[in-house]
Amino acid sequence: MSKKQEKILITKMLNLLIKQLKIDLKNHNFFLVNEHDLQAYLYMKLVNGKLFNEFIIDGDGDENYRIHCEYARGEYIKGEGTPGRHQFDIAILKEDLNDNQIWYTKKPVWLGMELKLNIDASKKAVIDDIDKEDVAIEITKKNSKFAEWAVLFHLNIAKKKYSEHDFNDIKEYIYKLKKKNKKTFYVYLETYKNKNYSNFAFV
């Protein structure tokens, strides 16, 4: 699969997740209350979908499921704790594992997802969180071994509607990041308890 086809596939996957999440939040505003809820929700949507829910065989002949939660980023480095110290919230493994690239029983990641859920977060808090998580998933020559593609998925649930100006500032901010990190996808979704309404930005 070419990089262009991969990008189209990831875009399709994220659009499906956003669409379903918006429907569920409209019907049950606060059914997600923390980041682990969002992780479980997205994981189950991916597992029950048809895009990546298959088994693959690695270079050792072992059978592996492609989708995992809390999946270690890269290999163990002496003095930096265990591989589990740095983890993707959700990871989708490479389809072709026959290159035998195995990091301490961890398999190479095709798509690494970092998630964030806030309740009533201000614009500043949202941008601060995006900054913090973006550093963790940024794909550069130095750490590209962590994942070929990355997603930062941010959900902000509010009791009352924020200003359109604040939303546009957040949207512009992630557009700026996208120009720098072309292999990272950014999703920001805000939804409101008192209105059947949501705003989202996806680049």
Write the DSSP symbol of residue 125. H
pLDDT in tens, 181-200: 888 999 999 888 766 667 87
Across residues 58-86, what is the average pLDDT? 65
Distance CA 62, CA 34 (A): 34
Mean pLDDT of 15-21: 92
203 lies in some domain:
no
Q: Is 149 exposed, middle or buried (0-12, 13-18, 19+ CB in 10 A)?
A: buried
User: Is 59 a domain residue?
Assistant: yes
Q: What is the pLDDT of residue 7?
A: 92
**One-character DSSP codes across 39-76:** HHHHHHHHHHSSSS--EEEBTTS-EEESEEEEEE-S--
Q: What residue numbers bound the domain in which 40 lies? A: 3-197
Q: pLDDT tens digit string along 101-118?
A: 544 445 678 899 999 999
Is residue 80 assigned to a domain?
yes
pTM for the whole thing?
Answer: 0.84
- The contacts of residue 108 (CB under 8 Å, 6+ apart) are 93, 94, 97, 99, 101, 145
Per-residue pLDDT, 12: 92
Between CA 88 and CA 109 the distance in angstroms is: 10
In tens, the pLDDT along 140-191 reads: 445 445 688 999 999 998 877 788 899 999 999 999 988 888 889 999 998 8
Tokens 């809390």 locate to 70
Structural domain count of the chain:
1
Q: Evaluate whether residue 202 is within a structural domain.
A: no
Residue 84 is predicted with a pLDDT of 45
Residue 29 included in any domain: yes
Q: Is residue 165 part of a domain?
A: yes
